[in-house]
Structure 1
């Protein structure tokens, strides 16, 4: 039986396979063995479908974010951040859509849900009320910016290999950095080994830790 949930499930599968380019009403109709009218009835137009798919993935990710016993505000921020990080890693089209949701629909469930979940922890961290928006926005912007580096880039992708091997990329990059003049680029030479061996998730959490430490100093 055709339902909104079934439509979104198939749509997310198409997005995961090939990004926004493969998600058309025609392709979705063929997968579901139904007409475009039925899809429009349950979800709406293509843009509505993309927004609904984004909301479904983000809602599921935040709902699954662990809330450990005796969790501190910092623990909760890290849980939400990692939930979004993992969701965008699994659904590489999500970074672009999530950013668009926050910019285009500030009162939508995705934007409100993320800001509310993080904002409550900003309050619990003791950040002055007049700095809440800045503090929460800094966390949200960092999360989206950091995970977007590992996500599929929509738009102009000239010069970017969408299936490039991560290890090969950093090996090539490290080799190129080693060839730089160490007298003029001492820092780049110092981090060559770190760049080649770093863990994206741990690097992401380091950024969260730096921001949280800064927020505690806003008293």
Structure 2
């Protein structure tokens, strides 16, 4: 008799929500968010689709679950960073917060589709809430009032979690559209062609896009969200917050 291990499938009793979610993350990493369906996930696990409903209620519950897995990975990455010593000066908040946010981004770069899902969730993962609480703690260490912390969180927006929201994107160029979740060459090419046709109407836009370049796909979470652009925006916000915090203390 052939064993479940030999066929690559597991007996139903071995299936857990954690295993389902880990497999969903692996599937999205490999094939992109669009490939993550209940049917494709069941096939990945070697089970009938109906068996999934014992572990995830529906597609939205599945997406909440994969966000939780990625957010737990972010918390783990942040937890491995060197903690601020008790006698650190207030100014230490900024480099510590920068390291933490870039650690979160490094996780998202391993799961490029996750930023798209994070933007659509109606409920917060407890891991995400704890992550935000740690950011608040760093700003309080820097002398921020809670009012300034609140303004800071709005100013940072999605950058606090390691990605920047695009002003606009070519159709199909969202994180999660291509294999692994990155942008698609076809969408980039179509956008470039469209802008070239409108060069007379959009001279500044066309010249700007011709002058700037972005890094490879391994540092990108959106059409313009590459590592250089992300760090530029992050540093701009953190530098401004640093000045405001100093002003509050004098």
Please give the TM-score of this superposition, normalised by the length of structure 2. 0.64
Match of 2:81 in 1: 67
Match of 1:211 in 2: 237
Query: Which one has a larger percent helix, Structure 1 or Structure 2?
Result: 1
Change in 2 beyond 3 A, CA 1:142/1:33? closer
Q: Report the more deviating stretch, 7-16 or 203-212.
A: 203-212
Q: Report the more deviating stretch, 20-29 or 50-59.
A: 20-29
Deviation at 1:154, TM superposition (A): 6.9
8 Å contact 1:61–1:87 — kept in the other structure? Answer: yes
Q: Where do 5+ consecutive residues of structure 1 fail to align?
A: none
Q: Report the more deviating stretch, 73-82 or 43-52.
A: 73-82
- Provide the C-alpha distance between the structure 2 equivalents of 1:45 and 1:191, rounded to a whole number of angstroms: 41
Q: Which has the larger radius of gyration?
A: 2
- Provide the C-alpha distance between the structure 2 equivalents of 1:202 and 1:142, rounded to a whole number of angstroms: 13
8 Å contact 2:28–2:113 — kept in the other structure? Answer: yes
Deviation at 1:30, TM superposition (A): 1.7
8 Å contact 1:54–1:94 — kept in the other structure? Answer: yes
Within the alignment, does 1:97 sit opposite 2:114 as a pair? no
- Provide the C-alpha distance between the structure 1 equivalents of 2:81 and 2:177, rounded to a whole number of angstroms: 39
8 Å contact 2:21–2:66 — kept in the other structure? Answer: yes
Aligned partner of residue 108 in structure 2, secondary structure: helix
8 Å contact 1:26–1:36 — kept in the other structure? Answer: yes
- Provide the C-alpha distance between the structure 2 equivalents of 1:190 and 1:23, rounded to a whole number of angstroms: 36
- Provide the C-alpha distance between the structure 2 equivalents of 1:100 and 1:188, rounded to a whole number of angstroms: 31
Q: Where do 5+ consecutive residues of structure 2 fail to align?
A: 1-13, 86-91, 220-225
Count residues with an aligned counterpart: 202
Match of 1:44 in 2: 57
- Provide the C-alpha distance between the structure 1 equivalents of 2:61 and 2:208, rounded to a whole number of angstroms: 48
Relative contact order higher in (CA < 8 Å, ≥ 6 apart): 2
Match of 1:85 in 2: 105
Residues 110-132 of structure 1 deviation map (CA, whole Å, 9 limit, x = unaligned): 54133212111121221222222
8 Å contact 2:75–2:127 — kept in the other structure? Answer: no
Root-mean-square deviation (CA, aligned residues, Å) is 3.8
Please give the TM-score of this superposition, normalised by the length of structure 1. 0.72
8 Å contact 1:139–1:208 — kept in the other structure? Answer: yes
